[in-house]
Chains A and B, each alone.
Chain A
Amino acid sequence: MSAPGALSWYEAGARQRIAVLLDQSSFAEILGPAERRMSPHLPLFGLPRAFDDGIVVGRGRLDGRPVLVAAQEGRFMGGAFGEVHGAKLVGLLRLGLTERPAALLILFDTGGVRLQEANAGETAIAEAMRAIADLRAAGVPVIGLVGGRAGAYGGGGLVAGTCSGLAVSEAGRISVSGPEVIETNRGAEEFDARDRALVWRTMGGKHRYLIGGADAFAEDTPESFRKAALGLIDAAAPFDLATLEAEQARLERRLDRFGETLDGRDVWARLGVNDPEGIPAATDDAFRASAEGCRESARDAR
């Protein structure tokens, strides 16, 4: 449990998250707000711009180790990838290849590609995934932290899936198609987006941790995410053929095991979780204890 008055990761903004995650005063921003590198597209739609285009990137230290960090601002257009937003992330990832930091951290908070500049956004997603693969191949772990109000959706979910390791909190959600997108395309019988409990049973942090879609489960505090990030940096598997084959085998096994299930609760029951019905209401500590020993793990795979 978090101490009363402690900062909530979910409630915090991108700049706040960086300030409390990294070593004190160690952050130096690249292309800060005063550079005014704003979206060239939004004014065409009569929409307001942000000085940082909704993403903060730069250098800092984590427990003394040099890191590169990117944090999305989920409150600005749902943290969506526009042209500048995406280019800042891709540029940072490529900078990692020359600087070789101890890790590159991505603080996800995004609904995916920004529809008003979708072509540029989609391109940025592909470039970011390629850059992450290059960085991992060079031995630099790329760690994703997911615990913001927008989650990691759309292309952001794809970029998250490319990372060396992911930490998620209960409030965090990871997926590609969001609840409303599924409902719109397949009907409310397929997926009722208003059923928030269903959304969390399908895409929420606890579910993702249980099926090995996330590698660490964090409480909704900066300290917990910091600890999780440090653990994931040290646990990052080498990015080689053996790792990728293990990951492929794990995903095939997951499909065999859970392909027929219709609800998160059925998946958890098959995993052998003690009280599947009690998972959504369980405290962080009780949940971690239930997950121990039966959750799927990507430790040797991704």
Chain B
Amino acid sequence: MDRLSFRHATRRPHPGTRAEAIAGVVASGNLEILLERVLAPDLCTVEIETPVTGYGDVWEAVVADFVARAQPGGLRISINDGGARPDTVSLRLLQGARLMEEAP
């Protein structure tokens, strides 16, 4: 198992008031993402647990790209990965960020 952790500063807080959301499911080629609005509004953390080892660089790039696009300030994001491809991870992260903008 690889356990990865990333910490990013953001320019703005993530829109919406929803406190928590979950997207996806842990299955082959898929992943689940738990988002919690618990951090300072200019901070975002992403913690990842994955059985696929050795792809830390790819995760780092995907997460950095997501944070740059979504500016998810205040969100603690936790991922249980089931071996998802980077494009699936990107889409799931954006889906999760979108869910946090919806009404609670």
Interface string of A59-95 (1 = CB under 8 A from B): 0000000000000010111000000000000000000
Q: How far is the CB of B4 from chain A (nearest CB, A)?
A: 13
A33-B34, A75-B30 given; A51·B78 CB < 8 A: yes
Which size bracket describes the interface of A in this complex? 10 to 19
Interface string of B21-53 (1 = CB under 8 A from A): 010011100101010100000000000011100
Q: Are B49 and A49 in touch, CB under 8 angstroms?
A: yes
Query: Quick check: is B71 within 8 A (CB to CB) of the other chain?
Result: no
Q: Are A46 and B20 in touch, CB under 8 angstroms?
A: no
Residue B25 contacts which of A36, A43, A76 (CB distance < 8 angstroms)?
Answer: A76
Total inter-chain residue pairs, C-beta < 8 Å: 43
Query: Quick check: is A280 within 8 A (CB to CB) of the other chain?
Result: no
In addition to A33-B22, A48-B50, 8 A-B residue pairs with Cβ atoms within 8 Å of each other are A15-B22, A48-B1, A48-B80, A48-B82, A50-B32, A51-B78, A73-B25, A76-B25
Q: Are B25 and A48 in touch, CB under 8 angstroms?
A: no
Query: Quick check: is A47 within 8 A (CB to CB) of the other chain?
Result: yes
Main SS of the interface on chain A? loop
The 6 closest A-B pairs by CB, nearest first: A75-B27, A50-B26, A75-B25, A33-B22, A76-B26, A48-B26
Within 8 A of B (CB), among A217-274: none
**Interchain CA distance A27-B87 in the complex, whole Å:** 32
Q: Are B51 and A51 in touch, CB under 8 angstroms?
A: no
Query: Quick check: is A1 within 8 A (CB to CB) of the other chain?
Result: no
Q: Are A43 and B80 in touch, CB under 8 angstroms?
A: no
Q: Are B1 and A43 in touch, CB under 8 angstroms?
A: yes
Q: Are B51 and A48 in touch, CB under 8 angstroms?
A: yes
Give chain A residues whose Cβ lies under 8 Å from the Cβ of B51.
46-48
Q: Are A51 and B22 in touch, CB under 8 angstroms?
A: yes
